[in-house]
Structure 1
Amino acid sequence: MRLVLLYLCIICHGMATVDGARTNVSGGKPKSSGTFNVKEYGARGNGRSDDTKAFLAAWDAACKSSGQVKILIPSGTYFLNPIEFNGPCRDVQSLKFQMQGTLRATTDLRKYGNGKGWVEFRHVDGLTVTGGGTFDGQGAVSWPFNKCPKDKNCKVLPTSVKFVNTKDTVVRGITSLNSKFFHMALLGCHNFKGSGITISAPGTSPNTDGIHLEGSTGVTISGSKVATGDDCISIGQGNSLVTISGITCGPGHGISVGSLGRYNDEEDVKNVIVKDSTFQGTTNGVRIKTWANSPAITKVQNMTFDNLVMKNVDYPIVIDQTYCPFAKCDNSRASRVKLSDIHFKNIRGTTKRPEAVILRCSKGTPCQKLSLHNINLKNIGFGGTLSTCLNAKAEYSGNIFPPPCQ
């Protein structure tokens, strides 16, 4: 699912005092550094009062300050309408968003503009989001309105947390609960480090991807638990230098590269590593998916999937260049997304279906430099274990089970 990106740089601006809070927001000498507690700006944290203006006032004051800055969200539950935390914060060396409480999203979909998220961090450098708090998207109310699994022209529901055009971002030790759509999206980000992230939604929740990447470079995601109704992590178009490790994924659809090739202006995806992770009861393990009849030529290069454990996974290893999530798609032309240097290594465990390895490459641009090394996957259901291939010539080494395609 490709998000519509709105790169609008809204410079931090002065706001009036909220609910009798302190008045060092517009005018006067900005605070040089220190802690900006949202409660000092009028936030109540009772789960019912709208705390949006108080959060914006605290952000505005912090963004106008200098040095090392912390925005503190103490324990409590803070009700928020859609909110944008905008930079650049020119004199701030580092900005910590210390979230100890729970942020709770409005369920009124009329509050969200088309393509907008709930909490967005935009054009900020040196941001750290941490503190053990929770983003509660309250998505269950909205899931029945999601028509995207059946309608390719659907209206996209809001993503819980977006990072747009940020640099040197750290997200550590936070939780995202029951997003309406994607839990977290990285759009046009550089040097992003995520660790200790917990993402949770029911396996039946539609399009609740855990972390979605698009147009980003230098991304590391490690030591995190993702349980959701769609891809645990989805790597979309235009990403490079991505390392994913130590992920516990399930329920969900696994870790996916794609879908790719649906739009004309997509950029290449390259230099991706997925390693040292476990998949529990997921639909897929690791998957590359591209649309047939793709309008433009895109390259997917240099990908390694290494040291992965599959536990009762339907389809552990998948390349699908005929991807179609709808009842009917135009397959009159083969996918023009070019896959090369794709390596599956040291992948082991159990499957619930016979097809443990599926290599379905494009007839027009068959996969190149595709290899499998030390694969050991056994079906615990009926029908044995097998590999299926289409337009795929792979190199095999080490111990291989199921046997290679004939």
Structure 2
Amino acid sequence: MNAVGVFALMFIFGLYSADLPFSSAATIFSVLNYGAKADGKTDDSKAFSAAWKAACSATTQNPTVVVPSSRNFLVYPLIFNGPCKSSQISFQIIGTISSPSSPSVWSGHDISKWLTFNGVTGLLITGTGTIDSHGSGWWGQSCRDHPNLALSLISCKQSTISGIYFVNSAQEHLVIYLSNDILIKNMHITAPENSPNTDGIHIEASQNVLVNNSYIATGDDCVSIGDMTSNINISFVNCGPGHGVSVGSLGKNGNSVKVENIHVKRVNFKGSTNGARIKTWQVGLGYARKISFEHITLQSVQNPIYIDQNYCDIKGARGNCAQKSTGVHISEVTFNDIVGTSSTYVAINLNCSQSVACTGITMSSIQIKSDKSGQQVISKCTNAHGTNSGVVQPKSCLQS
């Protein structure tokens, strides 16, 4: 995205991201006024649904659903549908929203999602409250039996999520899907390091998304970028533990991928499995291009710089899958100003396809050392083509 595009987005988000104070023009819809018990045991879903419907149908400026402080609200799967009558609608979370804690309690409910905002324009989700998914009961079960995520925005536009604490989702904590012009800032997302598939933020089939100034420590990717996604900017994020910031995985079902203009900068990775990562399935088609990782710091990261173009379904075969004639073309990728320490011997690993090689890779101002005194680190490349500029340590293995 060029400078004009970035500033245009900042202007758009500025209209929607201000934490507006309640005013006489705003109408407040507290879930307590719609029958919520807020004891953490009684199902408050109907109260939340009623408060949302009232706010969404209000014609006043900035109608606001309020989840009050010092209260715990038990909520079952809900969809907050738009469009709403007001051009901007707020959902302020100051207390705690909790999901059912036992998998058995979900019987008869849709486990594919929990809290969903669908088709809303001008949505402002703010507050200092907590969304607690109580995911630990699911982590020992097969992932396909898990509720997929805690909070999702589907087909939303010009919306902001700010300041919320997410804890212990069964899988992804926050998903942005089929949405445009979304700002995510000042987030705090945590789950245990060994919790499976608990991505912090997953963005897919969406455009013009900014993730800024957030702390993410989970059992999977801090931020993951899915298929059909473009113009994504991720900055000032602390990531770790977790699996890093990942473009992918892409093309799992042999679909044609279109991913471009993904920019990650000023991210600190601490104790994560990966740092800057791009991963695509061998059976995928299409492209992932114009991707940059810049001004990155690393603290004991297992795979600081990692491209894996050979993802496959063979268990335990990562990096050793049989070659295929298909592949997602990875090109125009920049790794610039990346410094810090690796916890493994291979600090730069570019595992690209023999059939559809990586091209246009640029490396500059990279200084990665071992986190173990006296040990060295290396670069390892397969079918990766590009250029080096400035200091690259360990020595680059890119082919011209």
**Normalised TM-score (structure 2):** 0.88
- Tell me how large the CA RMSD over aligned residues is: 1.6
TM superposition shift of 1:394: 2.3
C-alpha contact 2:323 2:354 (8 A) present in aligned 1: no
Query: In structure 2, what residue type is equivalent to 1:393?
Result: H
Residue 142 (str. 1) matches residue 134 (str. 2): no
TM superposition shift of 1:328: 5.6
1:400 pairs with one of 372, 375, 392: 392
Query: In structure 1, what residue type is equivalent to 2:173?
Result: H
Q: Distance in 2 between matches of 1:303 and 1:198?
A: 25
For 1:196-211, list aligned pairs within 5 A: 196-211=186-201
Which residue number in structure 1 is paired with residue 275 of structure 2?
Answer: 285
1:276-314 deviation per Cα after TM superposition (whole angstroms, max 9, x unaligned) = 11000000001000112x1x5211010110000000001
Q: Distance in 2 between matches of 1:162 and 1:204?
A: 23
1:194-226 deviation per Cα after TM superposition (whole angstroms, max 9, x unaligned) = 100000000000000000010000000000000
C-alpha contact 1:82 1:111 (8 A) present in aligned 2: no
C-alpha contact 2:257 2:288 (8 A) present in aligned 1: no
Which residue number in structure 1 is paired with residue 3 of structure 2?
Answer: none
1:391 pairs with one of 383, 386, 390: 383
Which residue number in structure 2 is paired with residue 366 of structure 1?
Answer: 357
Residue 64 (str. 1) matches residue 57 (str. 2): yes
Instruction: Give the SS at the match of 2:192.
Output: coil
Q: Distance in 2 between matches of 1:332 and 1:370?
A: 21
Query: In structure 2, what residue type is equivalent to 1:47?
Result: G
Which residue number in structure 2 is paired with residue 122 of structure 1?
Answer: 118
Q: 1:325 to 1:202 in 2, by over 3 A?
A: farther
Q: 1:358 to 1:334 in 2, by over 3 A?
A: farther
1:377-403 deviation per Cα after TM superposition (whole angstroms, max 9, x unaligned) = 001237511000000122111111001
Q: Percent identity?
A: 36
For 1:23-102, list aligned pairs within 5 A: 34-66=27-59, 67-75=61-69, 76-89=71-84, 91-102=85-96
TM superposition shift of 1:79: 0.3
TM superposition shift of 1:324: 3.8
For 1:7-406, list aligned pairs within 5 A: 34-66=27-59, 67-75=61-69, 76-89=71-84, 91-107=85-101, 108-113=105-110, 116-145=112-141, 147-148=142-143, 154-292=144-282, 294=283, 296-324=284-312, 327=315, 331-381=322-372, 383-405=375-397
Query: In structure 2, what residue type is equivalent to 1:300?
Result: A
Instruction: Name stretches of at least 5 consecutive residues in structure 2 with no aligned partner.
Output: 1-24
Instruction: Name stretches of at least 5 consecutive residues in structure 1 with no aligned partner.
Output: 1-31, 149-153
1:93-151 deviation per Cα after TM superposition (whole angstroms, max 9, x unaligned) = 2101011000000133324425x211000000000000111100000111111x24xxx
C-alpha contact 1:112 1:118 (8 A) present in aligned 2: no
C-alpha contact 1:43 1:78 (8 A) present in aligned 2: yes
TM superposition shift of 1:88: 1.1
Query: In structure 1, what residue type is equivalent to 2:293?
Result: F
Query: In structure 1, what residue type is equivalent to 2:106?
Result: L
C-alpha contact 1:322 1:335 (8 A) present in aligned 2: no
Q: 1:378 to 1:328 in 2, by over 3 A?
A: closer
TM superposition shift of 1:331: 3.1
